[in-house]
Amino acid sequence: MTTTTRTERTVLDDARDQLAEAVKILGLPADVHAMLAEPRRELSVSIPLRRDDGSIEVLRGYRVQHNYSRGPGKGGVRFDDAVDLDEVRALAMWMTWKCALLDVPYGGAKGGVRIDPRRYSIAELERVTRRYTSEIAPIIGPEIDIPAPDIGTDERTMAWMMDTYSVGRGHTVLGVVTGKPIALGGSQGRAAATSRGVVAVSLEVLHHLGIRPEGATAAVQGFGKVGRGAARFLAEEGLRVVAVSDVDGAISHPDGLDLPALEAYVDETGSVVGFPGSSPISGEEVLAAEVDLLVPAAVEGVIHAGNAEAVRARVIVEGANGPLSADADRILGERGVLVVPDILANAGGVVVSYFEWVQANQSYWWTEAEVNEKLVDRMTHAWRDVLVYATERHLSLRLAATCMAVERVWRAHEVRGLYP
């Protein structure tokens, strides 16, 4: 019998290693890692889709609930052709730490469908979303697990999910998902929350390093939900965003890109490629740009052992989940590059998702100014807490943030006790 050995590391390996190191530093019992490394519940579902031409295609979807010791599960749903179960497991674990670190009363969850949404019509995506929702409906709900948008999904996707779930319950359930349209109980400020949180933390980090935002330079890898807003807000704060990229290519301008004009161009063409007045560059050149601040805001693993030495930014603020591999994290740390981890940097989305859930449960909505003020306050306090923890214990920001989060989750689990 022939056996094969997997040698390539996955994001789940990185997530579990981060947990193991935090458990060791905290001096917790050895069995804590075994308990927290495994999801509490996971579901894999088949999604048959009738295409517009009448043919049938079968897709695969997942929902993983990593931990709910501190509250119901919370995490996005992504539509991406690279989605697999290990990726969803890792993302669900990171959501657990993210919620604990920001002191949001949720546990971590994540979902996904293996599909490239660009290859499907709106009608087909609606059918996929509704079938996926009906399949995972038994394990989601406003007091069980609350999905939200992620890569490849948006507020329209959440509207379809909320409607499908509500039809099954016989009444409207606004709190079953977050990131919904305003007309369906969505929160002001939710669409830009992750981007705004990334920028709030970025400004704190620059201040910590004595770098004035006015005239500082930035590069943003990814020009989707997170990267686009982050680039705009950074420019509004006075930074020169000199390079950006999307899935189709990358552009640069040494004096800073005109972000309002670029956004209008992307709305018209669908890509940053060919933006008038910019120079075409490669995606790797964006990551290697000589800037004060680099925001990787696309997918996991874009900075790895093969390209970490080329990174020249002074600060990296992780807009995406897991954009640095463990090897890259080590290499950059040894070089003195300050890395703000994803579970802190991009937590703005889950913070405002929590605000949306609270508002839906109360049937009382806040103004955008109130939401943004509460978000920035939560993000800046979390940054300062992590910085103090890291400084006092001589840890990296990632290890400090993970230790703080793991300790909070374990404390909740310990107080609740282990059900026989």
Nearest Cα residue to 296 out of 262, 267, 321: 321
Tell whether the torsion through CA atoms of 275, 278, 281 and 286 is positive or negative.
Answer: negative
Q: Angle between the 85-101 and 11-26 helix axes, to the nearest 10 degrees?
A: 40
Tokens encoding 126: 């609606």
CB 64 within 8 A of CB 40: no
Query: Strand ranges (DSSP E) for 177-248?
Result: 217-221, 240-246
Tell whether the torsion through CA atoms of 112, 114, 120 and 126 is positive or negative.
Answer: negative
Label residue 171 exposed, middle or buried (CB < 10 Å: 0-12, 13-18, 19+). Answer: exposed
CB 313 within 8 A of CB 286: no
Tell whether the torsion through CA atoms of 77, 80, 86 and 91 is positive or negative.
Answer: negative
110 is catalytic: yes
CA distance to 33, 95, 419, per residue, from 39 (Å): 12, 12, 16
Among the options 110, 180, 225, 374, which is catalytic? 110
Query: Strand ranges (DSSP E) for 187-344?
Result: 217-221, 240-246, 249-252, 279-281, 293-296, 315-317, 338-340
Nearest Cα residue to 123 out of 45, 50, 60, 180: 50
Chain-centre distance of CA 296, in angstroms?
11
Active-site amino acid positions: 110
